[in-house]
A and B are shown apart, each in its own frame.
Chain A
Amino acid sequence: MFKKLFKIFGPIIFALLIIFLLLISPFNYGLKKVSNDDQKKAAVSLDHKIIKGKRIKEQALGQNDYVAFFGSSEWSRFDPMHPAVLAEKYNRNYRPFLLGAKGTQSLVHFLNMQTITNNLKNKKAVYSISPQWFVPKGIRKDAFNFYYSPLEATEWLLNESQTPKDQYIAKRFSQLLDPNSDHVLHQTFTRIENGKKPTKFQLLYIKMRHQLLLNEDRLFSSIYISNRNENKIKLCTKQLPPTYDYNKIYDLAGELGKQNTSNNRFGISDKFYRKQIAKKVKRFKGFQAKEKFTKSPEYADFQAVLETFAKNNTDVIFVLPPVNQQWQKYTGLSQQEIQNAVTKIKFQLKSQGFNHIVDLSNDGDIPFFMTDTIHLGWRGWLYFDSAVGPFLENHHRPPHYQLNNHFYDRKWQQATVDQIVNFK
Chain B
Amino acid sequence: MIFFQPYENPFYFFILFIALLPIMISILHGKKIHIYESLISLFFLFLTFGGPSWKQGIALIIYTIYETCLTFGYLYYRKRKNNQLVFYFTIFLTILPLALVKIATAIHNQKLSLIGFLGISYLTFRVVQTVMETRDGVIKQLKLSQFLPFLLFFPTISSGPIDRYRRFIKDYEQVPKQDEYLEMIKKGIHYIFIGFLYKFILAYIFGTLLLPEVQAAALAQRHNFLGLSWSLLGVMYVYSADLFFDFAGYSLFAVGTSYIMGVKTPMNFNRPWQSLNIKDFWNRWHMSLSFWFRDYVYMRLLFMFMKKKTFKSRITAANITYILNMLLMGFWHGLTWYYIVYGLFHGFAIVINDAWLRFKKQHPNKLPHNRATKYLAIFLTAHVVCFSFLIFSGFLDKLWFIPK
Contacts and interface: CB of A to CB of B under 8 A. Distances in A.
Interface stretch (B181-189, B313-321, B369-377): B181-189
A183 B178 CA distance: 39
B178 A8 contact: no
Given A4-B182, A201-B2, A205-B2, 19 more contacts: A1-B28, A1-B178, A1-B182, A4-B186, A5-B182, A5-B185, A7-B186, A8-B185, A8-B189, A9-B189, A146-B212, A180-B5, A183-B3, A183-B4, A183-B8, A183-B52, A187-B3, A187-B51, A279-B223
Interface of B: prevailing SS: helix
A7 B2 CA distance: 33
Contacts, number: 32
A176 to B, nearest CB: 16
Closest 10 CB pairs of A and B: A280-B223, A4-B182, A8-B186, A279-B223, A8-B189, A8-B185, A184-B2, A183-B3, A201-B2, A1-B178
A256 interface: no
B52 A187 contact: yes
A5 B188 CA distance: 13
A84 B193 CA distance: 47
A280 B3 CA distance: 48
Interface string A341-362: 0000000000000000000000
Nearest to B187: A8
Contacts of B4: 183
Nearest to B28: A1
A205 B28 CA distance: 34
Interface of A: prevailing SS: helix
A1 B223 CA distance: 65
26 contacts: A1-B28, A1-B178, A4-B182, A4-B186, A5-B182, A7-B186, A8-B182, A8-B185, A8-B189, A9-B189, A12-B189, A146-B212, A179-B52, A180-B5, A183-B2, A183-B4, A183-B8, A183-B52, A184-B2, A187-B3, A187-B51, A187-B52, A201-B2, A205-B2, A279-B223, A280-B223
A175 to B, nearest CB: 15
Interface string B159-203: 000000000000000000010001001100100010000000000
Contacts of A205: 2
Contacts of B28: 1
A12 to B, nearest CB: 7
A221 to B, nearest CB: 15
Contacts of B182: 1, 4-5, 8
B36 to A, nearest CB: 20
B12 to A, nearest CB: 10
Contacts of A179: 52
Interface in B184-241: 185-186, 189, 193, 212, 223
Contacts of B193: 12
A1 B185 CA distance: 12
Interface in A159-192: 179-180, 183-184, 187
Interface centre among A1, A7, A8, A9 (most CB of B within 10 A): A8
B27 to A, nearest CB: 12
Nearest to B212: A146
Contacts of A5: 182, 185
